[in-house]
Structure 1
Amino acid sequence: MGRRRALLTDTERELLEAEEKSDRYYQAVSRIRRKIDEELSEDLDILEKHHPELFEELCEAVEEQS
């Protein structure tokens, strides 16, 4: 099975890592913000309500990276 993405697509990763900030960079930033505000929030609600163990694992992973 191929590698799956978490939050960022490969293209979004490349755009964020690029030294030059193009229009595509700013579009990617906008898409990522929308994912965080809308999709991630909904996913977190579902995990918290229906699989608290996975929710805690995710919270711990985020805390470790902070």
Structure 2
Amino acid sequence: MTDTDCDNVAGVEDPDIHKRYLSISRVRNRINEELARDVEILEEHHSELLEELKDVVCLETDGENAD
């Protein structure tokens, strides 16, 4: 996420609701489009990097693996 999107999503400096929703929409689009494409490329060309991404995204919670 960009610094601005991080701030807006987190409510830093109380952004107006329109800016907050725009940031949420941008982040959602990145997750669904760019990140999905990146995962496909990593699956095909660099499985080690894909595993690193999974380690970061799929953090263990309550001592159990999120897989």
Normalization by structure 1: what TM-score? 0.78
Runs of 4+ in structure 1 over 3 Å off: none
RMSD between aligned residues: 1.7
Aligned length in residues: 59
Query: Mapping of 1:32-43 within 5 angstroms?
Result: 32-43=27-38
Greater fraction helix: 1
Q: Where does the alignment leave 5 or more consecutive residues of structure 2 unmatched?
A: 62-67
Higher-Rg structure is: 2
Q: Where does the alignment leave 5 or more consecutive residues of structure 1 unmatched?
A: 1-7
Equivalent residue letter for 2:52: E
**Percent identity for Structure 1 against Structure 2:** 39
Normalization by structure 2: what TM-score? 0.77
